[in-house]
Amino acid sequence: MTDRYCVFGHPVGHSKSPRIHTAFAEQFGDDIAYEAIEAPLDGFVDAWRDFIAHGGKGANVTVPFKEDAFRLADVLSSRAQRAGAVNTLVLGKQGDIYGDTTDGVGLVRDLQAHAAPLEGARILILGAGGAVRGVIEPLLAAQPAALMIANRTPGKARQLAEDFADLGETTGGGFDEIVGAFDLVINGTSASLGGDLPPLPDDLFADAALAYDMMYGNEPTVFLRWAAERGARTVDGLGMLIEQAAESYFLWRNHRPETAPIRELLRGEM
């Protein structure tokens, strides 16, 4: 019998998740069907219930429903509790709902695949929204020397830093408070897709620094172009998408896909 999975979002028609998970299933010969479901903005819970009533086993959850999924789950992973959001739902055998977030581990695995400086590094994250909140814990677990969160609204960045201060050296502030060079700079905002760039200092990058944008597209974002002009290595977020999907697949199926072939596949299709 075919096991059903999906991704919920609004909008969600652009999602690459069906392509990714279908490719994962082919690696193992798993009999699954994976689809994208655009739930009404006020109808996520009903959409989930309808999905499982028709044989659904688990789901990915993207914007704007990650907090709804957090509230829906009966049991939460520790990393989901920290993030305050869920991007993976697993239906238990007794009908209980397990919620997890795989975004952070997906980011770290992609960074490791690109030999990013993590342990002992100075890391800067741009933005203080939900996307950033979901990745701070695994970044701090890599034991950087310091992690700074910079945001247009300084108070939001400071609060986020305070929320995670028990896990490592973490500070927050405005863009005008960025001082010194960093080994890794992560853009966690969506601004660069619209051609916008925060007011960043020209001497932002240390030698051999990596600039990482959690967004991706057919062309480099404005942030990655700006970083490349200043000597940084650049990586977009396609690998993060694939790695977080692999972690979700493992939660559902208890085997972990090979991600390298999927990276090549999707790059070739972009």
Q: Kindly state whether residues 52 and 134 are assigned to the same domain.
A: no
Residues ≥6 apart with Cβ < 8 Å to 103:
83, 87, 131, 134, 135, 240, 244
Q: Kindly state whether residues 80 and 117 are assigned to the same domain.
A: no
Find out whether 148 is annotated in a ligand binding site: no
Domain CATH code at residue 226: 3.40.50.720
Q: Kindly state whether residues 108 and 224 are assigned to the same domain.
A: yes
Q: What's the mean pLDDT in 197-210?
A: 94
What tens digit of pLDDT does each residue of 243-259 get? 999 999 999 999 999 99
Q: What's the mean pLDDT in 125-140?
A: 93
pLDDT band at 269 (very low <50, low <70, confident <90, very high): confident
pLDDT at 181: 97
Find out whether 79 is annotated in a ligand binding site: no
Q: What's the mean pLDDT in 154-174?
A: 96
pLDDT band at 81 (very low <50, low <70, confident <90, very high): very high
Find out whether 9 is annotated in a ligand binding site: no
Q: Kindly state whether residues 194 and 256 are assigned to the same domain.
A: no
pLDDT band at 190 (very low <50, low <70, confident <90, very high): confident
Question: In terms of residue numbers, what domain contains 69?
Answer: 3-101+244-269
To the nearest whole number, what is the mean pLDDT of the chain? 95
pLDDT at 192: 72
Quick check: 87 pLDDT over 90? yes
Q: Kindly state whether residues 71 and 39 are assigned to the same domain.
A: yes
How far apart (Å, rounded) are the C-alpha atoms in residues 160 and 133? 7
Q: What's the mean pLDDT in 69-94?
A: 95
pLDDT at 1: 82
Structural domain total, the chain: 2
Quick check: 127 pLDDT over 90? yes
Tell how far CA 267 is from the center of its chain.
18
Q: What's the mean pLDDT in 33-60?
A: 97
Q: Kindly state whether residues 263 and 147 are assigned to the same domain.
A: no
Catalytic positions, please? 66
Find out whether 248 is annotated in a ligand binding site: no
